[in-house]
Amino acid sequence: MAAPRRTQQERSASTRARLVDAAFACLLDGGYAATTLGAVQQRAGVARGTLLHHFPTRTALMLGVLDDIAGRRLAVLAAAPSGSAGPADWDALVDLVWDDLRSPAFSAALELWVAARTDAELRAALVPVQERLFGTVHRSVTALVGDADPRVPTLVQFSIDLLTGSRLAGLLEERAGTPAIVERWRRALPLLAAAPDLL
């Protein structure tokens, strides 16, 4: 063993991380239903009892994954360059959102999301996270573009929703036209930003 001495906190955190990572991986390539205690346990190289020690129920494990995903997405946003005070950088906005949507985290989050629709406990935990995430995304992305214009929030929401829908349509199989759509939306954004009579 290369780790001769580790504090309890280190041991615990390390195992927890391994479990969350394993669950995330299971979620990604097997979906919510296939993310069973056995599969996660095996993937993490950990005994059954260990898993249930850190996460007393399956839902608790899912919430752990959720926190992890949310944390990572928030970290990405925090690392994004905040408003350069220059002209609204719509390209950067599209890049930021689009990259996020194409990350594995989105697929895993989608699994949890859809599962939460019919699982009260999961939904109860997911809704606040979602709101916090939406709020932060919106704030972070608005900072990228500037908020002098009252139309900015609307255009940001347009972009998020449009790209999300686009990503969802390409979930099963890459849609041929998607890159073109994203590219055209890039060009459409400044037009709308300049349009005088858009509320």
Partner DNA sequence: TACAAAACAGTCCGATCGGACGGTATGTCG
Partner DNA sequence: CGACATACCGTCCGATCGGACTGTTTTGTA
3 state SS of 96: helix
Q: Which of DNA, a second copy, none lies near 8, with the C-beta cut-off 5 to 8 A by kind?
A: DNA
Contact 87, 97 (CB under 8 A): no
Binding status of residue 162 toward a second copy by CB under 8 A: yes
CB of 27 to a second copy, least distance (A): 9
Output the CA torsion sign for 67, 70, 73, 75: negative
Question: Using an 8 Å Cβ cutoff, are 126 and 116 in contact?
Answer: yes
Q: Are 138 and 114 in contact (CB under 8 A)?
A: no
Closest CA to 178 of 192, 164, 191: 164
150 binds DNA (CB under 7 A): no
Residues 68 and 13 sit within 8 Å (Cβ to Cβ): no
- Which region holds residue 57: left if phi is over 0, alpha if psi is between -120 and 50, else beta? beta
| From candidates 15, 103, 142, 178, binder to DNA by CB under 7 A | 15
Closer CB to a second copy, 51 or 155, in the complex: 155
> Is there binding between residue 47 and a second copy (CB under 8 A)?
no
Candidate residues 33, 75, 85, 120; the one interacting with a second copy per rule CB under 8 A: 33
State yes or no: residue 89 binds a second copy (CB under 8 A): no
Cβ(61)–Cβ(38) below 8 Å = no
Nearer to a second copy, 47 or 127 (CB): 127
Contact (Cβ atoms closer than 8 angstroms) between residue 153 and residue 88: no
String of contacts with DNA for each residue 21-60, x by CB under 7 A: --------------xxxxx------xxxxx-xxx-xxxx-
Among 134, 135, 149, 179, binds a second copy (CB under 8 A): 134
CA distance 39 to 19: 11
x/- string (CB under 7 A) for DNA, residues 157-186?
------------------------------
Does residue 172 bind a second copy (CB under 8 A)? yes
Binding residues for DNA, rule: CB under 7 A, are: 5-9, 11-12, 14-16, 35-39, 46-50, 52-54, 56-59
